[in-house]
Structure 1
Amino acid sequence: MSDRTLGEFEELVLLMVAAYHQAAYGVLILEKLEQQLNRKLNISAIHVALKRLEGKGFVTSSYGGITNERGGRRKKLYALTAAGKKALDINYELRTGIYRQIPNISFGQ
């Protein structure tokens, strides 16, 4: 398996980075994924996925400005790269292509 592929959780994190392009950060991604998935996640899992995604070239990171609300600490912001968008496009095409192969099945609903 190529190191440029996406695992399921990485894909979800990358989708959130794309949704909040250049304004995405760990806690925001955590909160939005917890809302979407309706389950609790660990911030460490988010940070590990972001680090892997950055290593694969799918996201870049930069630091935002210093704020009083964060006690003078800067927020690490993430942005989608062209390679990250391409990976999302490939996964989308793969998943929708397979989904379209499902026959029209009635379960009495």
Structure 2
Amino acid sequence: MIGEFEYVLLTAASSLGDNAYGAAIREHIETVTTRRCSIGALYTTIDRLESKGLLTTWMGEATAERGGRAKRMVRLTPQGQCAAKDFYNTIMRVSHNVSWASERGKETA
């Protein structure tokens, strides 16, 4: 099973579609999760997911807006889509019948 950040990254890349590249994925993750995403953690995870066969990357065209640098583009593989779906379904199953609202205000012993 993939981990939480791997799931978040795969989901961000899927959401961005043809516009999925490092900086856009990072921005999407930070916006949706409201948590900081370091560029090192992002690219380490991209590399790990690529080595697992869950996504593929390639260098896009150089752009003037990036000072002539190319973007590292990202796309989920069918295996990546299945892994993300499996993670989501697992979270939904383990969360079934859990009422987080009832846990508020309880003190721990």
Band of TM-score, shorter chain: 0.7 to 0.9
Q: 1:65 aligns with which of 61, 76, 95?
A: 61
Root-mean-square deviation (CA), in Å?
A: 2.0
Q: Give CA deviations for 1:62-106 in whole Å, capped at 9, x if unaligned.
A: 121121121211101000100000101111111111111426975
Runs (4+) off by over 2 Å = 101-108
The alpha-carbon deviation at position 21 of structure 1 amounts to 2.2
The equivalent of 1:15 in structure 2 is 11
Q: Which runs of 5+ in 1 are unaligned?
A: none
Say if 2:76 is the partner of 1:88.
no
Q: 2:51 aligns with which of 48, 55, 79?
A: 55
Q: Answer yes or no: is the 8 Å Cα contact 1:30–1:43 preserved in 2.
A: yes
- Amino acid in structure 1 at the alignment position of 2:68: G
Measured in 2, the distance between the counterparts of 1:103 and 1:38 equals 23
SS at structure 2 position matched to 1:31: helix
Measured in 1, the distance between the counterparts of 2:75 and 2:48 equals 14
TM-score by length of 1: 0.84
Change in CA separation of 1:68 and 1:107 when aligned onto 2, cut-off 3 Å: closer
The equivalent of 2:37 in structure 1 is 41
Percent identity (aligned)? 33
Structure 1 or 2: more helix by fraction: 2
- Amino acid in structure 2 at the alignment position of 1:50: I
TM-score by length of 2: 0.84
Measured in 2, the distance between the counterparts of 1:43 and 1:92 equals 25
The alpha-carbon deviation at position 39 of structure 1 amounts to 2.2
Measured in 1, the distance between the counterparts of 2:98 and 2:24 equals 35
